[in-house]
Amino acid sequence: MMDRIEYLRKQVRDIPDFPIPGILFRDLTTLFKDPRSVEVTTDLLVQRYAGKGITKVLGIESRGFIFGSILAYKLNAGFVPIRKKGKLPAEKVVSTYQLEYGEDSIEMHKDALVPGDRILLHDDLLATGGTTVAALNLIKQLGHFDISICFLIELAELGGRKKIGPDYDVFSLLSY
């Protein structure tokens, strides 16, 4: 597995001083555009979650939609989008979370989950964990579910995993 992980690591482009000076941005668009990287990423994530009885994959807007929908297909599960405020047409649950300068909200349809669903929550990046915790709050509003969480990249020094807490199986393909 390590050679495939190193292959994926080489597909992630580092962009210094973006979006502000002092930040090293991990750009996944280079991984997304490479067919082999998409295949390897998909295979590694499917291998981890196959046979776990996942019934719904929840993808966080917007880059969580890319592999979230692929995983749903490969795991024979439904796909549920977690959207930014104002994007969903039917009755929904809302979770507000703090940003560095203000707050934001995400939403999910109220009828997205049913009792007994086994959930895989997916996003591209784990940084501070704020969006993931907000997504978990959405899920909790709809009931008690078995939840696993996966990311393509984790920026470990930002402490997002600690914010999520020890109650969840959290997995990241790449950690920086």
Give 17-48 pLDDT, tens digit per residue: 999 999 999 999 999 999 999 999 999 999 99
- Structural domain contains residue 15: no
Band (pLDDT 50/70/90 cuts) for residue 2 is: low
- Structural domain contains residue 26: no
- Structural domain contains residue 116: yes
Among 4, 100, 107, 161, the one annotated catalytic = 100
- Structural domain contains residue 47: no
Residues of the domain holding 125: 53-175
- Structural domain contains residue 64: yes
Of the candidates 123, 128, 125, 121, the one whose C-alpha atom is nearest the C-alpha of residue 167 is 121
The whole-number pLDDT of residue 98 equals 84
Q: Tell me, what CATH number does 161's domain have?
A: 3.40.50.2020
**Token code pair at residue 15:** 């962009």
Q: What is the mean pLDDT of the chain?
A: 96
* Cα–Cα distance, 32 to 21 (Å, whole number): 25
Is residue 39 annotated as a catalytic residue, yes or no?
no
Is residue 63 annotated as a catalytic residue, yes or no?
yes
The whole-number pLDDT of residue 99 equals 75
Q: pLDDT tens across 63-104, in order?
A: 999 999 999 999 999 999 999 999 999 999 999 998 767 899
Please tell me the pTM assigned to this model: 0.95
* Cα–Cα distance, 4 to 1 (Å, whole number): 5
- Structural domain contains residue 152: yes
Domain count, the chain: 1
- Structural domain contains residue 46: no
Among 4, 9, 48, 63, the one annotated catalytic = 63
pLDDT at 1 > cutoff 70: no
The whole-number pLDDT of residue 163 equals 96
Q: pLDDT tens across 112-155, in order?
A: 999 999 999 999 999 999 999 999 999 999 999 999 999 999 99
pLDDT-above-90 percentage for the chain? 95
Kindly list the distances between the CA atom of residue 160 and the CA atoms of 63, 126, 169, in Å, as whole numbers in the listed order.
18, 6, 13
- Structural domain contains residue 27: no
Judged by phi (left if over 0) then psi (alpha if -120 to 50, else beta), residue 95 lies in beta
